[in-house]
Amino acid sequence: MHSWPSPSIPSVPGPAVPIRLYDTSDEAVKPVSPGDVATMYVCGITPYDATHLGHAATYVTFDLINRVFRDNGHDVHYVQNITDVDDPLFERATRDGIDWRDLGARETDLFREDMTALRVLAPRDYIGAVESIDEVVEAVGKLLANGSAYVVDDAQFPDVYFSVDATTQFGYESGYDAETMAKFFAERGGDPDRPGKRNKLDALLWRAARDGEPSWDSPMGPGRPGWHIECSAIALNRLGMAFDVQGGGSDLIFPHHEFSAAHAEALTGERRFARHYVHTGMIGLDGEKMSKSLGNLVLVSKLRAAGVDPNAVRLGLLSQHYRADRMWTDPVLVEGERRLAIWRRAAKSTSGPDAADTVARLRQHLSDDLDTPKALAAVDAWAADAILGIGSSATAPQVIIAAVDALLGVDIAPVS
Ligand code: ZN
């Protein structure tokens, strides 16, 4: 699939700082040590509804990682999927009386517009589930052949499942105990009580065709892919094993990322799918969890339509740490708008304090597990001084504009 246009990235003077990130699996902040090309896979949307601020927070977070990699001189191979074959898509399409393909195309277009407005750098590979069916079929065939998967004893619906004990390290990604795994598996799309499964946690790899559902031919019979294997196949075929960062919201820690890793590890016999598993906190609204069922989603497209500057949305999202579960409230947006206005006012100054120290602090804080509150505070301090007429560096405003653009993805350049 085509992705979206990336904004250009200005160069920023001074030394870059290699990034350290919290790894869910090792429960520690660790250096990320990419080669020339940093490799990152972030799970994409299921396109049945518009982008809300929880999605925006996740993709803006990984955009910062992408930007810090580039600042450090790495090329970045960034891969993202779109789960354009899944139950929620069919349910919504049926409810609204439209074709699931049209619904998916419409919401994917809106997602591209939202990402473009939020100045998120586009992935190099933006891959739909439909266009990766052959890759999934091949992977499921291999898992069946090497004994990691089995067909349930059901002549009518011969679904294929992955054995949770196919790898010895299963569970290392989330670190969850059996009780927590069982709870999240049931809550997040798993089917513990499917008759014929050998273990309640075994995950669906290939769903045999049902009436009224799309299906594709395969050696396993007609059917469609499970969710976790979609990400395993797409990532493995483009980035290989042991890529640098696997990312998503914290609700993907289990079962999705645990099984995506286990599938890939069972396919290759290698021990670790991603070197870093990085997860963003959940965004709530005014004290409640933001969710489709509560009907309290704040949509990026609605904010845009109301005339909100997407740069202010970005600053609102970055004002708290990415790993914290946090609330989106009117004051968060007002604060983002206020900060954007101050930074833009400072950027118009003909001079300001020397920028080198501010840029160094900005880099230091971002590379320290994306400490965005401190990174924003460093720019706040420079802006406050510049507005007061402190400092005589004539080049400083241009350097700050470039650094805020390149590293935070926020555009404060005066409109010419
Ligand atoms: Zn995924």
Tell me the pairing of strands 149-151 and 283-285: unpaired
Ligand 1 centre distance from Cα of residue 11 (Å): 32
pLDDT band at 16; cut points 50, 70, 90: very high
**Tens digits of residue pLDDT in 74-102:** 999 999 999 999 999 999 999 999 999 99
Contact 184, 255 (CB under 8 A): yes
Can you say how many angstroms the Cα of residue 199 is from the centroid of all Cα atoms in its chain?
30
Ligand 1 centre distance from Cα of residue 256 (Å): 6
Ligand 1 centre distance from Cα of residue 359 (Å): 34
Across 371-389, average pLDDT: 98
- Report how far residue 345's alpha carbon sits from residue 413's, in angstroms, rounded to the nearest whole number: 10
Ligand 1 centre distance from Cα of residue 249 (Å): 10
CB atoms within 10 A of CB 394: 11
Ligand 1 centre distance from Cα of residue 57 (Å): 16
Confidence (pLDDT) at 287:
78
Query: Exposed, middle or buried by CB within 10 Å (0-12, 13-18, 19+), for 223?
Result: buried
Ligand 1 centre distance from Cα of residue 33 (Å): 23
Ligand 1 centre distance from Cα of residue 361 (Å): 34
Structure tokens at 289: 């969890």
Structure tokens at 194: 């499917």
Ligand 1 centre distance from Cα of residue 416 (Å): 42
Ligand 1 centre distance from Cα of residue 255 (Å): 10
Please determine, for residue 275, whether its predicted confidence score (pLDDT) is greater than 90: yes
Ligand 1 centre distance from Cα of residue 50 (Å): 18
Confidence (pLDDT) at 222:
98
Ligand 1 centre distance from Cα of residue 44 (Å): 7
Can you say how many angstroms the Cα of residue 310 is from the centroid of all Cα atoms in its chain?
18
The structure tokens 């999705």 sit at 256
Confidence (pLDDT) at 294:
76
Ligand 1 centre distance from Cα of residue 362 (Å): 31
The structure tokens 């094993």 sit at 241
> Alpha-carbon Rg of the chain, whole angstroms?
23
Ligand 1 centre distance from Cα of residue 231 (Å): 5
State whether residue 181 is helix, strand or coil: helix
Ligand 1 centre distance from Cα of residue 228 (Å): 6
Ligand 1 centre distance from Cα of residue 43 (Å): 4
Closest CA to 82 of 43, 113, 109: 43
Across 225-240, average pLDDT: 98
Ligand 1 centre distance from Cα of residue 279 (Å): 12
The residues pairing with 327 across neighbouring beta strands, listed in sequence order, are: 284
Confidence (pLDDT) at 5:
96
Ligand 1 centre distance from Cα of residue 91 (Å): 20
DSSP letter at 200 equals: T
Per the document, the length of the chain is 416
Ligand 1 centre distance from Cα of residue 20 (Å): 23
Ligand 1 centre distance from Cα of residue 227 (Å): 7
Ligand 1 centre distance from Cα of residue 250 (Å): 12
Ligand 1 centre distance from Cα of residue 386 (Å): 44
State whether residue 395 is helix, strand or coil: coil
**Tens digits of residue pLDDT in 111-154:** 999 999 999 999 999 999 999 999 999 999 999 999 999 999 99
- Report how far residue 303's alpha carbon sits from residue 1's, in angstroms, rounded to the nearest whole number: 26
- Report how far residue 298's alpha carbon sits from residue 291's, in angstroms, rounded to the nearest whole number: 9
Contact 275, 242 (CB under 8 A): yes
Confidence (pLDDT) at 156:
96
Ligand 1 centre distance from Cα of residue 187 (Å): 17
Ligand 1 centre distance from Cα of residue 373 (Å): 28
pTM summary value:
0.97
pLDDT band at 293; cut points 50, 70, 90: confident
SS3 content of the chain, % helix, strand, coil (to 5): 45, 15, 40
Can you say how many angstroms the Cα of residue 315 is from the centroid of all Cα atoms in its chain?
18
Ligand 1 centre distance from Cα of residue 127 (Å): 11
- Report how far residue 163's alpha carbon sits from residue 197's, in angstroms, rounded to the nearest whole number: 9
Instruction: State phi, psi for 279 to the nearest 5 degrees.
Output: -130, 140
Q: Where are the alpha helices (DSSP H) in 269-323?
A: 300-305, 310-318
Confidence (pLDDT) at 212:
87
Ligand 1 centre distance from Cα of residue 238 (Å): 14
Q: Which residues of 333-352 are buried (b: 16+ CB within 10 A; e: fewer)?
A: beebbebbebbbebbebeeb
Confidence (pLDDT) at 416:
72
Ligand 1 centre distance from Cα of residue 333 (Å): 29
Ligand 1 centre distance from Cα of residue 175 (Å): 18
pLDDT band at 297; cut points 50, 70, 90: confident
Ligand 1 centre distance from Cα of residue 200 (Å): 21
Confidence (pLDDT) at 341:
98
- Report how far residue 90's alpha carbon sits from residue 93's, in angstroms, rounded to the nearest whole number: 5
